[in-house]
Amino acid sequence: MPSLDAFAASGSTSTLTWSTATRLSDVSSNPNWEQFGGRTLPFGGDYLYISSVGSFSYGTWTDWRNVVTGSDLREGGDSDSDGADVLQCRVANPDGTIGADTCPFQGGLDQNIYGAVTP
Percent with pLDDT over 90 in the chain? 50
Nearest Cα to Cα of residue 111 among 37, 25, 26, 47: 47
Output the pTM of the full model.
Answer: 0.76
According to the model, what pLDDT value does residue 83 have?
Answer: 76
Tens digit of pLDDT for each residue in 29-51? 988 999 988 888 888 877 889 99
Quick one: CA torsion of 26, 32, 33, 34, rounded to 10 degrees?
160
